[in-house]
Structure 1
Amino acid sequence: MGPADEPAELLRLLADDARLKVFAALVLEAHLSSDIADRAGLPLRETIKVLARFESVGLAARAGDGWHACPEALAQAAAGIGEEPDDAFADRGPAEAAVLRTYLARGRIRQLPVQRAKRLVVLDHIAGSFEPGVRYEETEIVETLRRFMDDHAALRRHLVDEGFLGREGGVYWRTGGSFVV
């Protein structure tokens, strides 16, 4: 996950009391790990783990032998919260667009719908990422599907099982879905 890829993940991180204290210490310009741990009232080992997690999501960065807060990651995440723009699914009918707005946020799947009819709408949208008649290596499929969902294997399985992708010997191709003409 890069900075602000998942606004909800940043909120979950900061919803924890210990992690919030570490972030507050960073914002209040404690730079050394030991100073951050002291201000947060946490053991140094726990503080270092929190700092490493913050670094992985863009909330903190190393600066020389210390750390600094990156509050711009929060601003970036806040800017991305909300629904898809009204024209994001303009090529779809109103019912399909409503399903896609419900289950996708900024192009990523929030959750695959349990109801098959809705799941097929989401899978059809994803199938549109693959060109008809083109053969794709598994690595290419994985790379594309990761843009939509971290669990790319489940997503790939759904696409194959529902007839949107064909598969043989590690090679995939589009076998179904709607086409924009």
Structure 2
Amino acid sequence: MTAQVLAGALADDGRRRVFAAIVLGATDRAAVAARSGLAGREVVTALRRLRDAGLVTGDDGDLAIDGGWLREAARSAPPPTDAERPVAVGERVLRTFLRDGVLVGLPAQRSRRRVLLEHIAGSFEPGERYPERAVDEALRGWCAAGGSDHVTLRRYLVDEGLLARERGVYWRAG
């Protein structure tokens, strides 16, 4: 069994509840239904899927988890590839709102917008002073896809404290 088959077998909430009931000692359908809170028909369907995946063994009255198989699957599983690793929230936000280095939209949620703005603020050198025209020009490049306008982006950067402003001169804060 592959990790994908295992994940597929346990992807459904009902199947997880049936699996947990068996782990906790239920050995027949009635006990599984009582512990899981599922109807008998749902239990039968979940048991069939879990048996097909190789997670559950036995028949009604002697249901069990194939613990040996699970241990073997854990030992033989290759390390996850980059594509299988969980994606950090920041990376997910950047993938969602940037295409080829161009802004396609601004997140409504402040924490996600902050991630995106921090990334954009990284295009300004710390300690260097920029006239408003240079800031606008740099931000227009980010806005080329129409996901936002440079003025809104500049205002967010200042409001979030990522850029500081005084008399039309901007610099990267922090």
TM-score range, shorter chain: 0.3 to 0.5
- In the superposition, the TM-score normalised over structure 1's length comes to 0.45
Q: Which has the larger radius of gyration?
A: 2
- In the superposition, the TM-score normalised over structure 2's length comes to 0.47
